[in-house]
Structure 1
């Protein structure tokens, strides 16, 4: 079933997963090219998250984590690792990720993911 307002649904999904503070910071710069790029990211990447389909937000979160780790995009991995619990990913699933990443993407990618997950966990513990 198609969503009646895909851009609106994509914006809502982005905020639900990444949080208002992250999205507000990302869209703060209102220069036309930057604003247009943020709209593009929201409508394409988050439009996929918001569409109907067999994958849940949890599934999509795990896939994004695996793909960003495989590509070595650790800044994006960190963003999604921080947001993963809001998408329904459990701590046990997050702890298991580096094993899968190391097995299929190589030990350096698994090590980088583990370091990043540790940083995210430590930062979260400091905020409590």
Structure 2
């Protein structure tokens, strides 16, 4: 599958980022995101792939489960509900159980605020009721 700009082949940071992005978010999500890239958003998508996924998510200091827990908490705190839904799915891919996700949201209620956790539970209720995609669907 070609990358966003078609000219990043051989860029190891970008390639690593795309590999982990696909592993965590699934091929279907990444393909949809890439299909929606425009001249306006291309540089931003490349930045996310290279630095968020290629530089941070590939670091050896934390496993993917831990990174997912941290990401969920940050998204709850900042009220980024669309990203929260996406990363709830990713958290499952990274091995978090629904009970562990619940605990992350409960912990967030104390440190981020009850209204934020309330919204997070609403988003999680919708997302976690979706069937877990199989490998062919992701």
- Would you say same fold, with TM above 0.5? yes
Instruction: Tell me the CA shift for residue 22 of structure 1.
Output: 0.4
Q: Does 1:73 align with 2:51?
A: no
2:107 aligned residue: 100
Q: Secondary structure at the match of 1:50?
A: coil
Does 2:38 correspond to 1:38?
no
Shift of 1:26: 0.4
TM-score, with length taken from structure 1: 0.87
Runs of 4+ in 1 over 4 A off after TM superposition: none
Structure 1 gap ranges (5+): none
Q: State the aligned residue count.
A: 122
Superposed counterparts of 1:1-128, under 5 Å = 5-47=12-54, 48-51=56-59, 53-124=60-131
Q: TM-score, normalised by structure 2?
A: 0.81
Partners of 1:66 and 1:101 within 8 A in 2: yes
RMSD: 1.9
Q: Which has the higher helix share?
A: 1
